Amino acid sequence: MTIDFTFKIGGEAGQGLQSIGYALSKAFAKGGLYVFLNQDYESRIRGGHTFVQVRVRNEPVYTLSEEVNMLIALNKETIDLHKNELVKSGAIIFDGDKIPIKAEDSYYSVPLEKLALEKGGSKIMINTVATGAAMGMLDYDFNLLADVLSEEFGRKGKDVVESNVKAARAGYDYAKENYRGKYDFTIRSLGSSKRMFLNGGEAISTGVIVAGCKFMAGYPMTPTSPILEFFASKARDYNLVFVQSEDELAAINMVIGAGYVGVRAMTATAGDGFALMVEGLGQAGMTETPIVAVVGQRPGPAVGLPTRTSQADLLFMIRAGNDEFPRAVFTPGTIEDAFWLTIKAFNIAEKYQIPVIILIDQHLADSYRTVDRFDLSKVKIERGEILSEEQIRAMGLYNYKRHQFTESGVSPRAIPGTPGCLVVTDADEHNEEGHIIEDAETRTKMVLKRLKKFEGVKKEMEPPKIYGPEDAKITLIGWGSTYGAIREAVDTLRKVGIDVNMLYINVVWPFPKDEISSVLSKAEMSFVIENNATGQLAYLIKSETGREVNEKILKFDGRPFSPTHIVKEVKEKVKG
Amino acid sequence: MVTLKDYEGGPTAWCPGCGNFSILLAVKRALVEMNLEPYQVLIVSGIGQAGKLPHYMRCNTLNALHGRDVPEAIGAKLANHELKVIAVGGDGDGYGEGGNHFTHAILRNIDITYIVHDNQIYGLTKGQASPTSDKGFVTKTTPEGVISLPFNPIALAISLGATFVSRGFAGEVDHLVELIKKAVQHKGFALVDVLQPCVTFNKLNTWEWYRKRVYKLESIDYDPTDRTLAFQKAFEWGDKIPIGVIYKSDRPTFDEQIPALKYGTLVKQKIDPLACEKILDEFM
């Protein structure tokens, strides 16, 4: 039996919607099902309207669905706003004691507050009761939910676990006893699973520590604050140093200081936080200091919509900084890429002594998915050439030159503090020793030396991946978090006989010029799909390959794409 | 034995008679007298004539952006706390562009030394007012005279809980050598604000002007651990200007309170991906 079931949990900020979504997801993931969770929230701590969507399938799921099977409404506004998204046989779970609506078809009242007080002992448990009720409606294995609650509340003690399990059970029993039969959709566990359930921010955070990053400085900013918090929370266990800096300028400059000394170091911020870091990016370029910056896009300009999603900083990342210097910009669109490209970012940063940007967005950072456990035995740490004390001695005392001219443009690094060598570098133009200069000849050679490194960087990159048949007539091109929506749109369109594939760009700089040019030369029609208003990727493709993309599907309202949106637009354009 | 020759650097681009020469000499002499080898020292400098200082000697050097020498010094110190890290910049660099970093470095009490060449003028950009220019001072950008009050780094540092606050004078090299040594040996953030004439652009605060006014706190009965007294000295500016250690106190440094650094320097920590399986378990 095919399962493709979406929950939408809505209410005010502060009502614990995330815990409902998370508990449901984990319980399904434990039962071997595939889950995708995305969040929509406002820039406020309490009140407003916010929702979480959980999509459950019996096969891998990469994106959200616009069709809602079960709406869990913690306030009336949720019903008003979202009842039209409900499928025909869908269900709305709500507390009839609190929301005075006649329980017609599709409306299933559960006394959430009453049960929370009676069985859990507190109103706080309303969300736990609701979680239980949703599971009861579907006749899902309660033990899997109980396991999740034990894990989640285990740290808070046995009593808290027990009252939560009781509250969930009360909701579960109430729904099952009163509504099973009338509501007959069932989700069954597919057996135990060895999958992880995490979001893009967590995948990057994990990659950061696995990659051996030991120093992070940052100034909190949505959507990347959780990356800072994760690193700080692991500092004791993994011997890491986290500094919450006074501002973004300090953050990137602290990272440069640590990178100069030879420690893998990074910062994380949002697009407009990165605007403050741009000068530091240039300093890393000039002093050839390896650094990594995670930039989470949100709509701008300036502060924009702080908690929402966007892909409008692509050209900014590629060009940020005065003058010219090599850099890499990675644009992961899946949980797996978020993890593996983070490790690669540190390798490339160190091997080529350049800044590497990991460009994500709120949608990727905050959306969870079930994925196979990362195989850490496959992780490769490549630090480039770092001279040992013996090698330094063999060079002769104080002969080391930090910016020595070489064939590849990459000069071997030395660790400051190593006896017999001095590591000298400068934000001013400098000579091989690293000392400030003015002469035209050295200047010219140094610019070319730095740019030369980019040739090496290019060779390290894998070509962008194609999903679907190589020779499809229509190609949908995306980068970053649109991966899931485009992928599913490709599946849907192919089912109705439209010959389409996807070109997914997860490294946007160095730009995969030849590969994209080749794909475009084969396709009869091409689309870019981007969360910005001008089609920045289309612009880049044009300027790098000379080829024009036929159509742009753009969305810049701060909300992520759904597959249905893409399918609809492609169909219209293909017909026209 | 380390000698001055070990620290000898290339030719300078400073104006003849500039106060920077004596600060450079004092830095070198202090490092020699502490028997520190050049490889054990990292100077992180900013932009301005002061920022060029490490290029004219020999040691590990990170010449940073304007005003960002302090955060880069902090990152470097945390990455290898065994290095002697000295940040060097001018008054515009540290008190203007880097003012926010200056205050937070003090609050953290990170174990670095911060030497500020304070000449009350912008030299590199050829003669505009600086944060420490006196009120009424006429420069190219302040033809009617400076309107703001001058930045008082000494009073600010004391008020924020700095653990070592001192002022030197480029005309008193022996005294400055002792100050720099004390600052480097101090555990915690140590400020050495150095009064220094700009012979080209500052025609008010000249060698003569300073010589008439400065006096050494060591020559009077003065207790630098008395915070109230220190505040009084911080505001003494006019006919008499005190130099020496103005305030000194003890509190744990930022670096020694970080658990990870108890197991050695960060730069020597091993990278071991397989030790991270436990993190993955959290997501199962």
Separation between Cα atoms, residue B22 and residue B38, nearest integer Å: 19
Three-state DSSP at A362 gives helix
Residue A576 confidence (pLDDT) above 80:
no
Separation between Cα atoms, residue B150 and residue B157, nearest integer Å: 14
DSSP B39: G
Q: What is the pLDDT of residue B234?
A: 98
Per-residue model confidence as pLDDT tens digits over A444-498: 999 999 999 999 999 999 999 999 999 999 999 999 999 999 999 999 999 999 9
% chain A with pLDDT above 70? 100
Mean pLDDT score of chain B: 97
Average pLDDT over residues A197-224: 98
% chain B with pLDDT above 70? 100
The CATH number of B4-281 is 3.40.50.970
What's the gap in Å between the CA of A64 and the closest CA on chain B? 21
Per-residue model confidence as pLDDT tens digits over B193-221: 999 999 999 999 999 999 999 999 999 99
Q: What is the pLDDT of residue A202?
A: 98
Confidence of residue B124 (pLDDT cuts 50, 70, 90): confident
Residue in B closest to A239 by C-alpha: B260
Q: What is the pLDDT of residue A393?
A: 96
Residue in B closest to A418 by C-alpha: B39
Lowest mean pLDDT among A155-159, A352-356, B230-234: A155-159
Q: Which of B47, B61, B100, B277 to mutate to test the interface with A (most CBs of A within 10 A)?
A: B61
DSSP B4: G
Whether B266 and A263 lie within 8 Å, measured CB to CB: yes
Average pLDDT over residues A251-255: 98
Domain boundaries, chain B: 4-281
With beta carbons under 8 A apart, name residues in chain A contacting B10.
435
Residue A1 confidence (pLDDT) above 90:
no
Specify whether the CB–CB gap between A344 and A315 falls below 8 A: no
A164 or A103, greater pLDDT: A164
Q: What is the pLDDT of residue A46?
A: 84
| Nearest-by-Cβ selection for B79 from A262, A420, A434 | A262
Confidence of residue B123 (pLDDT cuts 50, 70, 90): confident
By C-alpha distance, which of A330, A332, A327, A380 is closest to A349? A327
Whether B283 and A428 lie within 8 Å, measured CB to CB: no
AA letter at A68:
V
Confidence of residue A47 (pLDDT cuts 50, 70, 90): confident
Question: How many contiguous H segments (helices) and E segments (strands) does chain B have?
Answer: 9, 10
Q: DSSP E strands: which ranges in A434-512?
A: 465-467, 474-479, 500-505, 507-509
Q: Which of A253, A350, A387 to mutate to test the interface with B (most CBs of B within 10 A)?
A: A253
What's the gap in Å between the CA of B14 and the closest CA on chain A? 13
Same fold, A198-378 and A465-575: yes
What's the gap in Å between the CA of B56 and the closest CA on chain A? 9
Domain boundaries, chain A: 4-193, 198-378, 389-459, 465-575
Mean pLDDT score of chain A: 96
Q: Is B268 in the A-facing interface, judged by CB distances under 8 Å? A: no
- Please check whether the domain covering A465-575 is classified as CATH 3.40.50.1370: no
Average pLDDT over residues B86-92: 97
Residue A103 confidence (pLDDT) above 80:
no
The string over B2-12, giving b where at least 16 C-beta atoms fall within 10 Å of a residue's C-beta and e elsewhere, is: eeeebbebeeb
Q: Is B149 in the A-facing interface, judged by CB distances under 8 Å? A: no
Per-residue model confidence as pLDDT tens digits over B162-195: 999 999 999 999 999 999 999 999 999 999 999 9
Q: Which of A151, A213, A403, A422 to mutate to test the interface with B (most CBs of B within 10 A)?
A: A422
Average pLDDT over residues A169-175: 98
AA letter at B51:
G
Separation between Cα atoms, residue A477 and residue A528, nearest integer Å: 5
Paired tokens of B100: 């926010």
Q: What is the pLDDT of residue A45?
A: 83
Does the ipTM exceed 0.95? yes
Whether A210 and B74 lie within 8 Å, measured CB to CB: no
Separation between Cα atoms, residue A520 and residue A474, nearest integer Å: 9
Separation between Cα atoms, residue B251 and residue A466, nearest integer Å: 59
Average pLDDT over residues A380-397: 96
Paired tokens of B139: 């420069």
Q: What is the pLDDT of residue A36?
A: 98
User: So what CATH class is A198-378?
Assistant: alpha beta
Residue A184 confidence (pLDDT) above 80:
yes
Candidate CATH numbers 3.20.20.70, 3.40.920.10, 3.40.1500.10, 3.40.50.2000; the one for domain A4-193? 3.40.920.10
Whether A253 and B104 lie within 8 Å, measured CB to CB: no
